[in-house]
């Protein structure tokens, strides 16, 4: 029979394997093969929706709802600097966000429910999703390929460094920001740096654009409409004494609603249009709407929060503020009810943030995460709480 100690070791072994063999978005070929092999070894029949994800289903002994549990598979183009004995064997690629742990948790849940189908009223679909870190996101392909078909709800989770080790972060409603990308090309008329009067200087226009768009959040949006506009790229010229013909800017917008995104896009266009008209330049502004806002379903939030308090105690469950990072899990919550939960792995002064070359997870939280998610799924399907005896709160 599956018990706490061997479930922990199963998940640790999985996590360390994935950590050694990371693959970036849309290139999770060997990761998929490994997961498929492990599922087949368990006597299961994995399949795919998009051709890039891996899914498997376990049905209970009674008919009922269908629920999805999702984990992301991709790593990042980062050179690892952790010094771990199981560090990445792939140069320039690293699981620097925790997706190795997410896959391990999902496989651990599959082990558990494979042995305990009596806990399932209905059906659980386990989804290993590709390309969470990229744009366009892998979740979009899963949705378009029918990955949410017949599903009544979806659960996701993140091993979360900003949250103190052992805590569970929950929130109802808008939880993670929508993520947009914009690019701007400004076409002027270059010339010698000593004769700027004979030019249309795109660098001057770019500088004024960067300054003016910072007023969009403070002056064009309602004070309660949260958004961030950041410039990531600025390119203009190749020589110190030559005014260039063109300037290029690229950046990101984080917001909590499509209406806010549209306001920002429109204001950007008016600002650059006015600047270019006044200077005699031309421009091309492209605004790409990426992942939408991740919105947690209120009823699922209440359920998960209640179960988390019962498992770990009220002091361990924290209401988190909205996060301006984005997550392509939002593409699922636009279609069906979903709940995205945060599993605290942060040790102040001892860990590095997500996407850092020295980022590492705390493996002691694999079992608590699996416990919370499995208990929540069991409750959702059965409509009542049932103990699965995987974890005791006083073990934190």
Q: Which residues are catalytic?
A: 74, 132
- Pseudo-torsion of CA 34, 361, 396, 173, nearest 10°? -90
Residue found by looking up tokens 């209120």 in the block: 298
> Omega of the bond prior to 153 within 30 degrees of 0, cis?
no
Q: State the SS3 of the chain.
A: CCCHHHHHHHHHHHHHHHHHCCCECCCCHHHHHHHHHHHHHCCCCCECCCCCCEEEEEECCEEEEEEEEEEECCEECCCCCCCCCCCCCCCCCECCCCHHHHHHHHHHHHHHHHHCHHHCEEEEEEEEECCCCCCCCHHHHHHHCCCCCCCCEEEEEEEEEEEECCCEEECCEEEECEEEEEEEEEECECEECCCHHHCECHHHHHHHHHHHHHHHHHHHCCCCCCEEEEEEEEEECCCCCEECCEEEEEEEEEECCHHHHHHHHHHHHHHHHHHHHHHCCEEEEEEEECCCCEEECHHHHHHHHHHHHHHHCHHHEEECCCECCCCCCHHHHCCCCEEEEEEEEECCCCCCCCCCCCCCCCHHHHHHHHHHHHHHHHHHHHCCCCCCCCCCHHHC
Neighbours of 39 (CB within 10 A): 21
| Cβ neighbour number for residue 261 with a 10 Å cutoff | 23
Q: How far apart are CA 261 and CA 3, in angstroms?
A: 48
């Amino acid at each position: 029979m599956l018990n706490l100690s061997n479930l922990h070791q199963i998940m640790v072994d999985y996590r360390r394997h994935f950590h050694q063999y990371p693959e970036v978005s849309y290139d999770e070929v060997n990761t998929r093969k490994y997961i498929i092999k492990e599922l087949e070894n368990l006597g299961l029949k994995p399949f795919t929706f998009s051709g890039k994800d891996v899914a498997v289903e376990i049905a209970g002994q009674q008919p009922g709802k269908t629920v999805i549990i999702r984990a992301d598979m991709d790593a990042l183009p980062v050179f690892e600097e952790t010094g771990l004995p199981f560090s990445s064997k792939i140069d320039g690629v690293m699981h620097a966000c925790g997706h190795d742990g997410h896959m391990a948790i999902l496989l651990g849940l599959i082990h558990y429910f494979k042995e305990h189908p009596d806990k399932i009223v209905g059906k659980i679909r386990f989804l290993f999703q590709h390309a969470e870190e990229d744009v366009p996101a892998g979740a979009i392909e899963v949705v378009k390929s029918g990955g949410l078909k017949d599903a009544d709800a979806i659960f996701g989770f993140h091993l979360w460094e900003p949250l103190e080790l052992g805590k569970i972060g929950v929130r109802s409603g808008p939880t993670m920001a929508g993520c947009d990308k914009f690019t701007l090309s400004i076409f002027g008329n270059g010339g010698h740096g000593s004769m700027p009067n004979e030019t249309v200087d795109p660098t001057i226009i770019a500088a004024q654009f960067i300054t003016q768009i910072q007023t969009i959040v403070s002056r064009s949006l309602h004070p309660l409409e949260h958004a961030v506009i950041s410039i990531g790229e600025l390119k203009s010229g190749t020589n110190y004494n030559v005014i260039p013909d063109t300037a290029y800017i690229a950046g990101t917008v984080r917001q909590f609603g499509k209406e806010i995104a549209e306001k920002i896009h429109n204001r950007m266009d008016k600002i650059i249009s006015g600047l270019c008209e006044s200077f005699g330049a031309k421009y091309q502004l492209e605004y790409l709407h990426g992942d939408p806002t991740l919105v947690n379903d209120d009823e699922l939030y209440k359920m998960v929060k209640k179960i988390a308090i019962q498992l770990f105690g009220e002091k361990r469950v924290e209401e988190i503020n909205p996060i301006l990072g984005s997550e392509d899990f939002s593409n699922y919550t636009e279609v069906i009810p979903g709940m995205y939960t945060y599993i605290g792995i942060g040790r102040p002064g001892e860990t590095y943030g997500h996407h850092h070359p020295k980022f590492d997870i705390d493996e002691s939280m694999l079992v608590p995460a699996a416990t919370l998610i499995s208990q929540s799924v069991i409750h959702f399907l059965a409509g009542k709480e049932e103990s699965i005896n995987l974890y005791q709160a006083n073990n934190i």
